A and B are shown apart, each in its own frame.
Chain A
Amino acid sequence: MEAVEIDKISKIYEDGTQALNEVSLKVREGKIYGLLGPNGAGKSTLIGIISGTVSKTSGTAKIFGLDNSKDLQKAKLLLGVVPQEVVSEPVFTVFEVLDFFAGFYGVKKNDRKKKIDEVLEALHLGSKRNTRARFLSGGMKRRLMVAKALIHEPKLIILDEPTAGVDVELRTIIWNYVKEINKKGSTIIFTTHYLEEAEKLCSEIAIINKGKVIVEEETDKLKYLFGETTIDATLENTGFELEKILDTDIIKFNDNEVKIITKTGNESYYLQKLATLGGLKKIEIGQPSLEDIFVKLVKA
């Protein structure tokens, strides 16, 4: 089943800004799905529409088959959302914030207590249980927002830059917990600025730019579709005629050093060819990072 099915969603804000232009996406249940794109691409708008907090101009959004313009409350019950903007809460303690929020989703009192302690522990906020939420540091406020989204064990969790401005160690804490929850069956959608995060975590990625989806693909396949691998080889022989065995993919060729940039997936072909020349002294293979692919696609 699809956790999310977005069909031709467009969004034009009141001031005329077109944030989304016929966006269609599918997120399969159980996946960790990354929504990437430069600032202003429309990620938060899309997340707002999925979570029912931003109205759409046209198109349909279904959450586990529920059309969120018809069954919004039912759809919302299945969701946990971490908004992009950091939220503070003037009078309530961390515990109270979570207690009320879980209550909104119908979690009963005894279950709430247990669940709150568990989530706070996992997100290393246990010692802040009775602190007023507004006195938390920025990173702690983020983790509290993550806690709010997870507290009712939703089937689908949407996180809009949950790790922005959070240091590396805490990012790991957040992602470890999110991964654990994913293993228990929840589907995860998130946006991030840290592309290494997306690369490590997501099994599927959509890149959006200027309100349009440029690609939607499994992370591994992205590399083969758009990535370039670099081979740096040093050969023992000099003066050989590489052109004879290799085609035009050679970028640099001087003396006994070769640099080959090729579409990812083709590297074994060239390695074999190089090996036949004999005397392979040194070899380095550079795999493309998601960042390379991202930059290439967004610029194009």
Chain B
Amino acid sequence: MANWYGAYNLFRRETTRFRKIIIDTTVSPIISNVLYLIIFNVAVSGRQVQGVDYIKFLAPGLITLTLINSAFSNPSFALVIAKFSGSISDILIAPLTGTQIVLAYVGAAMVRALVTAFATLLVILLFTHLNVEHIGLAILGAFLTSFFFGTLGAIFGYFAKQFDSMTMMTTFIMTPMSFLGGVFYPVSALKGIWQTVSRFNPMLYFIDLMRYSFIDKEFIPHNISLTVAILANVIIFPLAIYLFTKGKRLTVL
């Protein structure tokens, strides 16, 4: 008898956590997305990228970025804070398996990411008309993206030893990766070596896949993006389960 109801309650706790600080977790990324839209729309007004209006190019990038950041932050912050406040002992004491703990944290990350990204989409629709060309793929892509970055966030939270490491990760890894991942401009515009570097950036594939599903334009062939996105999930999920089952780094700091 596996304690799935217990796991559901951990999921419930982790979704309640971000609902309780909804201004920080959901409203503020939406507002910054609005600002991006306004600023870039003024700055790049009228220009076409990949054969579409810039704002239509940017929109799916922002939606994906929102998915990525929200999914990553939810478990990583929760775990780091738990390590500092001591409440990490909760998940060690609780009768839950490593798999259940990962699923609960990642599930909550996905809820937050999908809700915030959907709200971002609604806000974007106030600015521009946006068709979703391949809706099935968009939904699949959103799930794959939030699942992957939720799991990545859980793994990061698992290893984190300092509060700083959170900000370091965001500033020095997540943000540059998103810039090199083609959120704000097409990777094809990058010169020489940077284009090669970009291809090693996993974010690129998620972003490109999402953009393809919205506006039917691709830099990486979408079958490849989709394959990479699926593979990335297939690799990272067992790794997370392995770590959380061992649980060595889930200690009070």
Please give the residue numbers on chain A whose beta carbons come within 8 Å of chain B beta carbons, in ascending order. Answer: 51-53, 55, 73-74, 76-77, 79, 81, 83, 85-92, 96, 100-101, 103-106, 134, 148
B63-96, CB under 8 A of A: which get 1 and which 0? Answer: 0000000000000000001000111011011111
Known: A76-B94, A103-B6, A104-B6. A89 touches B16 (CB 8 A): no
- Asked if B183 is an interface residue, CB under 8 A from chain A, the answer is no
* Contact across chains for A51 and B93 when beta carbons are under 8 A apart: yes
Residue in contact with A100 in the complex, picked from B3, B10, B85, B248, CB distance below 8 Å: B10
* Contact across chains for A77 and B95 when beta carbons are under 8 A apart: yes
A146 to chain B, nearest CB (A): 13
Alpha-carbon distance between A53 and B97 when the two chains are bound, in angstroms: 12
Alpha-carbon distance between A257 and B241 when the two chains are bound, in angstroms: 74
* Contact across chains for A86 and B86 when beta carbons are under 8 A apart: yes
Count of B residues near A, CB < 8 Å? 27
* Contact across chains for B10 and A91 when beta carbons are under 8 A apart: no
Residue of B nearest to A74 (CB): B95
Alpha-carbon distance between A154 and B246 when the two chains are bound, in angstroms: 25
- Asked if B20 is an interface residue, CB under 8 A from chain A, the answer is yes
* Contact across chains for B9 and A73 when beta carbons are under 8 A apart: no
Alpha-carbon distance between A91 and B21 when the two chains are bound, in angstroms: 8
Of listed B9, B21, B92, residue having the most chain A CB within 10 A: B9
- Asked if B12 is an interface residue, CB under 8 A from chain A, the answer is yes
Alpha-carbon distance between A90 and B88 when the two chains are bound, in angstroms: 12
Residue of B nearest to A51 (CB): B93
6 tightest CB-CB pairs across the interface, nearest first? A103-B9, A76-B95, A87-B86, A104-B94, A53-B92, A100-B13
Known: A53-B93, A73-B95, A100-B13. A105 touches B6 (CB 8 A): yes
- On chain A, the residues within 8 Å of B94 by CB distance are 76, 101, 104-105
Known: A51-B93, A83-B93. A103 touches B12 (CB 8 A): yes
* Contact across chains for B93 and A92 when beta carbons are under 8 A apart: no
Residue in contact with A91 in the complex, picked from B20, B92, B248, B252, CB distance below 8 Å: B20
* Contact across chains for A85 and B89 when beta carbons are under 8 A apart: yes
* Contact across chains for B87 and A89 when beta carbons are under 8 A apart: yes
